[in-house]
């Protein structure tokens, strides 16, 4: 069975600083990997996804993620954060394509002005 | 394009009462999911429908939870009787792909926040 670990429960960064959120997965086959963002009171919005090909994936809102098979990681990055990026971020791994997602416990991002 | 709709947005009940949540997926989406998100945790899949058939309900507590998707469109999730540990946000999602198909994005609704007292 697949699983996802997000080691950081809460991260605080200053506005304009760079960001990296960590995600480690466990899955026996080729993973389908996703990053979602959840703002307070909102549903989840897909930031980006990886299925195959280029291991550096570009997403919406200036986010990118890099798949590293040797490290079983799919870390999310952004070169310069904005106050509007404050939210909860979830990494997920898909089995059977994207039809069954297993989520990590999430990382809450706080932005200091 | 309208998104996934859910109602109610909030519900407060006492333990042992029953409650029902409603979800209307994006038009034309064949696959519908119900997730439970407990505070401080990621969403956990409860049940997945393909049209009006159940694909996966392995994590649904069937002694108290039930779900249906009549006519392959709207869906309802019911809890009867509710327990304190059922307090959570219940998220509905839909996707256009068939079960087992690769890469189909799941679109999430805003969720229903349930508080059981």
pLDDT digits (tens, 9 = 90+) for B28-64: 898 999 999 999 899 999 999 988 899 889 999 999 9
Interface of A with B in 65-104 (CB under 8 A): 90, 92, 96-104
A97 and B101 within 8 Å at the Cβ level: the answer is yes
Neighbours of A26 (CB within 10 A): 13
pLDDT at A96: 61
Distance CA B50, CA B98 (A): 7
Q: What is the pLDDT confidence band of residue B103, given thresholds at 50, 70 and 90? A: low
Please indicate if any CB of chain A lies within 8 Å of the CB of B89. no
Please name every residue paired with B68 in a beta bridge, in sequence order, or none if there are none.
B76
Q: Which residues of A touch B103 (CB under 8 A)?
A: 32, 49, 51, 97-98
- The residues, ordered by sequence, that sit 6+ positions from B25 with a Cβ below 8 Å of its Cβ are B4, B32, B73, B74, B75, B92, B94
Any bridge partners for residue B65, and if so which?
A: B79
The 10s digit of each residue's pLDDT in A96-105 is: 655 678 999 9
Read off the pLDDT of residues A46-75 as tens digits, 9 standing for 90 and up. 999 998 888 999 999 999 999 999 999 999
């Amino acid at each position: 069975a697949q699983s996802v670990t997000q080691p950081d429960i809460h991260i605080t960064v200053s506005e304009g600083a760079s960001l990296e959120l960590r995600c480690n997965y466990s899955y026996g086959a080729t993973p389908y990997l996703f990053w979602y963002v959840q703002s307070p009171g909102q549903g989840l919005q897909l930031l980006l996804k990886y299925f195959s090909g280029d291991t550096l994936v570009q997403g919406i809102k200036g986010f990118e993620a890099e798949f590293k098979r040797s490290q079983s990681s799919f870390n999310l990055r952004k070169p310069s954060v904005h106050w509007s990026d404050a939210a909860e971020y979830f990494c997920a791994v898909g089995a059977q394509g994207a039809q069954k997602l297993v989520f990590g416990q999430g990382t809450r991002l706080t932005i200091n002005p | 394009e309208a998104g996934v709709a859910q109602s109610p947005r909030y519900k407060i009940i006492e333990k042992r009462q029953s409650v029902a949540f409603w979800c209307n997926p994006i038009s034309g989406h064949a696959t519908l999911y119900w997730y439970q998100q407990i505070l401080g945790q990621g969403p956990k899949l409860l049940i997945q429908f393909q049209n009006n058939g159940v694909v996966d309900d392995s994590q649904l507590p069937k002694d108290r939870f039930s779900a249906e998707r009549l006519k392959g469109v709207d869906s309802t999730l019911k809890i009867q009787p509710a327990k304190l540990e059922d307090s959570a946000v219940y998220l509905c999602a839909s996707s256009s792909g068939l079960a087992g198909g690769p890469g189909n994005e799941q679109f999430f609704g805003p969720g229903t926040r349930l508080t059981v007292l």
